[in-house]
Amino acid sequence: MEEEDVPTLIQTTAVAESILDTNAPTVPLTIICGFLGAGKSTLVKRILTERHGYRIAVIMNEFGDTADIEAKTINVSSAEDPSAQSEEFLELANGCLCCSIKDTGIAAIEKLMQRKGAFDHILLETTGLADPGPIASMFWQNEEFAMGLGRDIHLDGVVCVVDAVFGRQQMEEDHSEEGKGESVRQIAGADVILLNKIDLVVRSQLEETEDMIHSINPIATIYRTIRGEIDLKNIMGIDAYSSRPLTQVQSDLLHIHHHHDHDHSDPDHTHGPTHYEIRGISSLQIDCPVISASHIDKLDEWIRSVLWEHRLPREPAKSEQSPEPKLEILRCKGMIVTDSGDTFVLQGVRNLYEITKVEDREIADAGIPDEGKIILIGKGLDEKVRRSLEDVLRL
């Protein structure tokens, strides 16, 4: 996708189909991020110790207090291979596998893949300060990845654990001049959010935090948890980066529609950027009418300009000194319906994206949607951006 000659839609579909047809499923990978102290380790510990029936390989930054888990060391460092010194595998009583990484995650995952077949899912826990975006794009639509680990692994989703007690305060601090904005980037890049420690707060505080999260990221599903207690099917196997399960994308989009239904009575607030703009990160939702098939190319061009050149098509590039915020998309997702009866799914993480035609048989399963919707999460998403995209869709 980095090249000028972006693969055509047909090729993309063909690749997706060939993956489907080879009957060699790749292992789903879930990234777990979250605020410092929000409860990531508590969640991981649950996964490693409880009897849930899943065989999960967990990659942790450090073993921390999880090292006391009853386990046997499988692989210790070897003298010939220095990279092996940075990781260790532990096989746990509940069938899970655990490994720690200190520097690059890729080396650990490559090692892990030598044990392919011993697990059905990979969880990658990041540090409390990590921005999941660059990590997610390492595993998605990345040529190097596609040629290597991508044959064995696919990105399933990004889960963010948010502290119900301090989450709001954390986001507000991150919004300040001194803050680096990690917590907001974590929320912006997540597909599922666990609002954890709900036992420690009152309902109104929960709702306020949820509102704030929704304003930054209307795509993510929020679950309220205590000590990371959650049915694992809600965080694993969600296929958030796939264009295949139309039903999932559709339900996400319907969910958003539902959530903002109350806005429709007020014309000024029908689709505007949400009122929160924390560290300039906000979201934009645009309804797409049924468009003509030729508009797909125009849309593709628009997306490329915004994602790669950080400007609207035909708009001059902004200088570094420009007072206007830089246009930066952290996540985009959408569904587009054409008058030829085709449905396309848009998926994007930062500057990587794909627009994929949905197969007829999937539509047969899910039903043809009446209209589409595009959601952008990022910086500089003002009314000008909305109008520009609407113009492209309504040519």
Ligand X SMILES: Nc1nc2c(ncn2[C@@H]2O[C@H](COP(=O)(O)OP(=O)(O)OP(=O)(O)O)[C@@H](O)[C@H]2O)c(=O)[nH]1
Rule CB under 6 A: which residues touch ligand X? Answer: 34, 36-42, 128, 161, 196-197, 199-200, 226-227
Q: Are 100 and 61 in contact (CB under 8 A)?
A: yes
Residue with Cβ nearer ligand X (174 or 300):
174
Whole-angstrom distance, CA of residue 135 vs CA of residue 145: 12
Residue with Cβ nearer ligand X (168 or 333):
168
Residue with Cβ nearer ligand X (164 or 296):
164
Whether the CA torsion 321, 322, 326, 327 is positive or negative: it is negative
Structure tokens at 84: 């092996």
CB of 50 vs ligand X, minimal distance in Å? 15
Residue with Cβ nearer ligand X (157 or 372):
157
Question: Residue 163 belongs to what H/E stretch?
Answer: strand 153-163
CB of 6 vs ligand X, minimal distance in Å? 38
What is the DSSP track for 323-359?
SSPPPEEEEEEEEEEBTTS-EEEEEEETTEEEEEEPP
Structure tokens at 89: 């595998």
CB of 196 vs ligand X, minimal distance in Å? 5
Residue with Cβ nearer ligand X (128 or 148):
128
Structure tokens at 272: 């505007």
Residue with Cβ nearer ligand X (196 or 356):
196
CB of 161 vs ligand X, minimal distance in Å? 6
Backbone angles phi, psi at 323, to 5 degrees: -70, -20
Residue with Cβ nearer ligand X (197 or 379):
197
Distance of CA 106 to the CA centre of its chain: 19
CB of 225 vs ligand X, minimal distance in Å? 6
Residue with Cβ nearer ligand X (179 or 245):
179
Q: Tokens 């839609």 identify what position?
A: 9
CB of 310 vs ligand X, minimal distance in Å? 31
Candidates 322, 325, 320; CA nearest to 385 is 325
Structure tokens at 374: 């595009």
Structure tokens at 79: 């003298």
CB of 67 vs ligand X, minimal distance in Å? 14
Residue ranges in 89-142 assigned as alpha helix (H): 105-113, 132-138
Whole-angstrom distance, CA of residue 35 vs CA of residue 222: 15
Spatial CB neighbours of 217, under 8 Å, sequence gap ≥ 6: 187, 188, 190, 193, 283, 331, 377
Residue with Cβ nearer ligand X (40 or 154):
40
Residue with Cβ nearer ligand X (183 or 283):
183
Q: How deeply is 237 buried, as exposed, middle or buried, from its count of CB atoms within 10 A (0-12, 13-18, 19+)?
A: middle
User: Which residue type is seen at 353?
Assistant: Y
CB of 160 vs ligand X, minimal distance in Å? 11
Residue with Cβ nearer ligand X (26 or 42):
42
CB of 178 vs ligand X, minimal distance in Å? 19
Q: Are 217 and 240 in contact (CB under 8 A)?
A: no
Q: Are 194 and 228 in contact (CB under 8 A)?
A: yes
CB of 230 vs ligand X, minimal distance in Å? 11
CB of 238 vs ligand X, minimal distance in Å? 21
User: Which residue type is seen at 380?
Assistant: G
**DSSP annotation of 22:** T
